[in-house]
Amino acid sequence: MPETKAEGVTARKSEDFDEWYTQVLIRSEVADYSPVSGCMVFRPLGYSIWEEIQKATDSRFKEAGIQNVYFPLFIPERLLKKEAEHVEGFSPEVAWVTHAGNSALEERLAIRPTSESIMYEVISRWVRSWRDLPLRLNQWNNVVRWEFRHPTPFLRTREFLWNEGHSAFATKKEAESERDQILSIYRTVTEEYMALPGYVGRKTDAEKFAGAEETYSIEHLLPDGKAIQGPDFHFDGQKFSKAFDIKFVDEEGENQFAWQNTWAITTREIGVMLAVHSDDKGVVIPPKLAPVQVVVVPIVNEESKKVVLEESQKVAKRLSSRFRTKLDDRDHLTPGRKFNEWELKGVPLRVEIGPRDLKAGQAVLVRRDTGKKRVVKADSIESEAGKDLDEMQENLLSHAAEALRRGTSEASTIEQLKEVIAAQGGIVKIPWCGRKACEDRLRSEAGGKILNIPLDQKVTHGKCASCGEPAKMTVNYGRSY
Amino acid sequence: MPETKAEGVTARKSEDFDEWYTQVLIRSEVADYSPVSGCMVFRPLGYSIWEEIQKATDSRFKEAGIQNVYFPLFIPERLLKKEAEHVEGFSPEVAWVTHAGNSALEERLAIRPTSESIMYEVISRWVRSWRDLPLRLNQWNNVVRWEFRHPTPFLRTREFLWNEGHSAFATKKEAESERDQILSIYRTVTEEYMALPGYVGRKTDAEKFAGAEETYSIEHLLPDGKAIQGPDFHFDGQKFSKAFDIKFVDEEGENQFAWQNTWAITTREIGVMLAVHSDDKGVVIPPKLAPVQVVVVPIVNEESKKVVLEESQKVAKRLSSRFRTKLDDRDHLTPGRKFNEWELKGVPLRVEIGPRDLKAGQAVLVRRDTGKKRVVKADSIESEAGKDLDEMQENLLSHAAEALRRGTSEASTIEQLKEVIAAQGGIVKIPWCGRKACEDRLRSEAGGKILNIPLDQKVTHGKCASCGEPAKMTVNYGRSY
């Protein structure tokens, strides 16, 4: 029988990203395959990361006055059809329930791919007067989009978990002003917790959410040079409120349709985060999100066993008061096997305590991101560990930001763009005239797409990379996951 | 335009329980109907109660070493069929996905009615050695059971939310010893948080979970005299581990099948809790679970407005440091309308501050459960409010316990049983010989069923209420929801 089941990662991130990505997630026990094609299993390590992301996001939603709700999993087909663009966007990927027990249903039910239609049908009964607004709701739930492309854990799964925020306001201005608040929450969660930088911007009309007036996204860059969309925010205008009759009487006694937004962060983000930070030894988890932040490993020989274990227990206990700490006192594994296992599973900080450390009143700290060892006084172990964890959290973000900078380039013509995309991928800043025809050409000829349009724009942009006419904006372009 | 949309409850709990129950949940904005038959909407008030129940339960699971996971919503039909009793129990209520987009699926997928089959298929890969055990997992998710009986918010819905705990142990003894730990967590949550007493016991073989060796339940009593099952715990023995091949090598190198348990608390419990505590003025929510625990209502006239509002803000701020507090400073509603609204919505404690209170350095506290008013020094408002909230929490439990006592009776013959059940319903303690034939007769002739068998049994039990032979146990009997 092997000492431990954990197999190391054999693929190399720099050589075969796809194989490495799957290996690292499966072998670290973050995720597993399931018997349902395209659906994954969140193992305790993976799910605990999601719980921490939820906590960080949800507490900020609540501070902002957003309230949680839960609406049904099922959407009657007739409701899904109420908003034309919405159904057109989602129906190719809808999973349909047609039978219950031995009976055929009278009307088939969609498993929610998103909940606009079921929520807004009900909300229209809740909103009567301007005093009922704003209505700012959110739910944390599962949704299903039956993608036919190759599934990848977290990054592309037929069922995924997310938050879906849905709000209704009395005025366009109020609805619009929610955008910065929500995007700022998502930036905090992605940058300060997940250590994931990204480019914020507006989607082009061709790329926006089915039913929205405007879509905003955070775009990340994967280590293989592909871009991937992170959290998003949709300004729906009055499209859904008109389709679902969400009307209210305003202060002047006039009937008005509400102005709406929706927004989401999904479990895909876990995959992006682990793809960016992890290495050939296993997953790397930012300290703020790690279910175990510090592991204490006693290094014992026969004669020192008792005293080293006692000291390790004491140190682990002290660390527990400030960090999520685990003492690994299993005696059937060598320290080396333990080191490998906790590196594979991404514990941010390892504390080693051996007989010599004991005598010297010290301990050894080893950081997961850099592998750097540091000998510290045992007396100040809490503050020293805290220092390492803080530095690691910052280091992951600055490394990821540096990778994003290195992966970002500029091109002013379609030829340059094709060259850059073919050579290194990444995100390319290009000037664009704003016309659909040019967007289509940029897509078909260079193999990527306009990811989003940064909100801060310079005054002049040179000439459109496609047509050579004066450009109206500079956009982020890239091959996208 | 009306001052507020909130309509009062017109049905009377004592006269028409069913109508009252639905009115009180809908009008208090705890729940709403949905366009999907049998599925309900959790409004913010209802969902926040579930969040608090989750928190209280989940933190105790985590302390016990149970880890959260997430498995797919879908179960391929062939997996559901692996354990014979399990599929027989659930297939009449399964919702089936047969199509995705425009394609028919090769194999239809069940929406999970419970996750044994999808989880155990995967877990069988995780367990190889005794060192991998125990495995104690839990998920908080949605499940679907397509009941064809009349749906009622919380109490009977086709989709509901729950926790499903699933564990695997190396020995029968360890598996069995988990029972008391889990039931004790559920008792803490139901009694100390929900203020809901109940009878703990083992289900008869006829009533146990499809696939389990033994089922344990907490049985509650509704105000209409019907019993209703609360949280449950199933000892599965090796039934599933044999069907799904969850095998491990024990310390002696022998192959063994794991011993398993499952357990659950569902959103039904919210309905039981609100049915038991609420009254003709609206819902009553135990302070520990109320999203708003204290509402401060300023009583103003034109001249005092400014100073009373200022004092109310100060008081609300002080209360906020210890309780979830809301200041209701809306100026288009009379205090009376506000009182009605917060009573309807079940805020446990109201603080009234008027110009006279201001002068006297006092405030008026009004408890939701008793309606009792108390004048307290403004200086000690936090401790006084805390006292009222603690007392209310205790009072709700003691009142519910008293109602359970009053609703519990004894019968020694089937004639007595029929009489009691017809006259007042409730839970009736009867002696039983343990035979299925007698259980069937008790059911068909008296219209209820054996709810469960208390764990603490006296030594002697008289004669079976059905056959008159010596009884082996005393059981809890009643009509059940």
**Which residue among B101, B129, B137 sits closest to A93, beta carbon to beta carbon?**
B101
Q: Is B74–A39 a contact, with Cβ atoms under 8 angstroms apart?
A: yes
Where residue A91 falls among pLDDT bands split at 50, 70, 90? confident
The C-alpha atoms of residue A153 and residue B284 are separated, in whole angstroms, by: 44
Q: Does A26 touch chain B (CB under 8 A)?
A: no
Nearest alpha-carbon partner for B72 in B39, B119, B30, B104: B119
User: In this structure, are residues B208 and B215 in contact, taking their beta carbons and an 8 Å threshold?
Assistant: yes
Lookup: tokens for A238: 């009055």
**Nearest residue, CB atoms, A32 vs list B75, B99, B122:** B122
**A248: three-class secondary structure by DSSP:** strand
How do the residues of chain A divide into helix, strand and coil, expressed in percent and rounded to 5?
40, 30, 35
Q: Quote the tokens at residue A321.
A: 């008061």
Check if the beta carbon of residue A464 is closer than 8 Å to that of residue A431: yes
Q: Is the pLDDT of residue A4 over 80?
A: no
Q: Which residues of B touch A122 (CB under 8 A)?
A: 32-35, 41
Q: Cβ contacts (< 8 Å) between B88 and chain A: which residues?
A: none
ipTM exceeds 0.85, yes or no: yes
B63, B167 contact by CB (below 8 A): no
What pLDDT sits at residue B138?
A: 98
Would the pLDDT of A89 be above 90? Answer: no
Residue B131's pLDDT is 96
Residue-level pLDDT at A5: 47
> How far A52 CA sits from the closest chain B CA (Å)?
12
Q: How close, in Å, is residue A418 to chain B by CA atoms?
A: 34
Listed in sequence order, the residues at least 6 apart from A236 whose beta carbon sits closer than 8 Å to its beta carbon are A211, A212, A213, A259, A260, A261, A262
pLDDT bucket at A6, cuts 50 / 70 / 90: low
Q: Which residue type is seen at B455?
A: L
Residue B80 burial (CB count, 10 A): 21
Task: State the Cα–Cα distance between residues B269 and A424, nearest whole angstrom.
Answer: 56
Per-residue pLDDT reduced to its tens digit, A92-120: 999 999 999 999 999 999 999 999 999 99
- pLDDT, residue A241, reads 97
- Categorise residue A39: left if φ over 0, alpha if ψ from -120 to 50, beta otherwise: beta
Contact A36 B68 (CB under 8 A): no
CB pair distance less than 8 Å for A111 and B111: yes
Strands A349-353 and A294-298: parallel
Q: A106: helix, coil or strand?
A: strand
Asked if A35's CB is within 8 angstroms of B79's CB, the reply is: yes
Helix (H) or strand (E) holding A318: helix A305-320
The answer to whether A137 faces chain B, any CB pair under 8 Å, is yes
Give a three-class secondary structure readout of chain B. Answer: CCCCCCCCCCCCCCCCHHHHHHHHHHHCCCEEECCCCCCEEECHHHHHHHHHHHHHHHHHHHHCCCEECECCCEEEHHHHCCCHHHHHHHHHHCEEEEEECCEEEEEEEEECCCCHHHHHHHHHHHCCEHHHCCEEEEEEEEEECCCCCCCECCCECCEEEEEEEEEEECCHHHHHHHHHHHHHHHHHHHHHHCCCCCEEEECCCCCCCCCCCEEEEEEEECCCCCEEEEEEEEEEECHHHHHHCCEEECCCCCEEECEEEEEEEECHHHHHHHHHHCECCECCCCHHHCCCCEEEEECCCCCCHHHHHHHHHHHHHHHHCCCCEEECCCCCCCHHHHHHHHHHCCCCEEEEECHHHHHHCEEEEEECCCCCEEEEEHHHHHHHHHHHHHHHHHHHHHHHHHHHHHCEEECCCHHHHHHHHHHCCCEEEEEECCCHHHHHHHHHHHCCEEEEEECCCCCCCCECCCCCCECCEEEEEECEC
Q: Write down the pLDDT at residue A3.
A: 40
Q: Which residue of A has its CA nearest to B117?
A: A35
Chain segment A63-73, per-residue pLDDT in tens: 999 999 999 99
**pLDDT at B356 (0 to 100):** 94
Using CB atoms, pick whichever of B35, B40, B99 lies closest to residue A121.
B35
Mutation target vs A (from B43, B54, B55, B247; most A CBs, 10 A cutoff): B43
pLDDT of residue B458: 83
- Report the distance separating Cα B321 and Cα B382, nearest Å: 9
Residue window 308-367, chain B: list those with CB within 8 Å of chain A. 332
Among A345, A392, A351, A399, which residue's Cα sits nearest to residue A373?
A351
Closest-approach residue (CA) in chain B for A29: B126
Put simply, the answer to whether A72 touches B39 (Cβ < 8 Å) is: yes
pLDDT digits (tens, 9 = 90+) for A32-49: 999 999 999 999 999 999
CA B145 to each of CA A100, B117, B231: distance values in angstroms, whole numbers, following the listed order: 9, 15, 17
- In tens, the pLDDT along A280-319 reads 999 999 999 999 999 999 999 889 999 999 999 999 999 9
Name the nearest CA neighbour of A450 among A458, A470, A459, A472: A472
Cα distances from A448 to residues A411, A477, B22, in angstroms, run 13, 7, 54
Rounded to the nearest 10 degrees, how much is the dihedral formed by the CA atoms of B386, B388, B390, B392?
Answer: -150
Is the minimum CB–CB distance between A125 and chain B shorter than 8 Å? Answer: yes
pLDDT tens-place values along chain B, 481 residues long? 334 445 789 999 999 999 999 999 999 999 999 999 999 999 999 999 999 999 999 999 999 999 999 999 999 999 999 888 888 888 899 999 999 999 999 999 999 999 999 999 999 999 999 999 999 999 999 999 999 889 999 999 999 999 999 999 999 999 999 999 999 999 999 999 999 999 999 999 999 998 899 999 999 999 999 999 999 999 999 999 999 999 999 999 999 999 999 999 999 999 999 999 999 999 999 999 999 999 999 999 889 999 999 999 999 999 999 999 999 999 999 999 999 999 999 999 999 999 999 999 999 999 999 999 999 999 999 999 999 999 999 999 999 999 999 999 999 999 999 999 999 999 999 999 999 999 999 999 999 999 999 998 888 889 999 999 999 999 999 999 9
Q: Using CA atoms, how far apart are residues B66 and B137, in angstroms rounded to an integer?
A: 6
**Residues with Cβ < 8 Å from B320, sequence gap 6 or more?**
none
Q: Could you give the CA distance from residue A433 to residue B302 in angstroms, rounded to a whole number?
A: 60
pTM for this prediction: 0.97
Chain B residues closer than 8 Å to A256 by CB: none
In degrees rounded to 5, what are phi and psi of residue A30? -80, -40
Distance from C-alpha of B187 to C-alpha of B193, rounded to nearest angstrom: 9
pLDDT score at B6: 52
Task: Tell me the backbone φ, ψ of residue A89, rounded to 5 degrees.
Answer: -70, -35
- Do the Cβ atoms of B118 and A75 come within 8 Å? no
Residue among A402, A476, A404 nearest A439 (CA): A476
The CA–CA distances, whole Å, from B41 to A116, A141, A163, A175, A278 equal 14, 13, 17, 24, 40
Residue of chain A with shortest Cα separation from B100: A95
**Neighbouring C-alpha atoms within 13 Å toward the C-beta of A249:** 6
H or E segment at A273?
Answer: helix A268-277
Average pLDDT of chain A is 96
Using one digit for the tens of pLDDT, what is the confidence trace for A349-363? 999 999 999 999 999
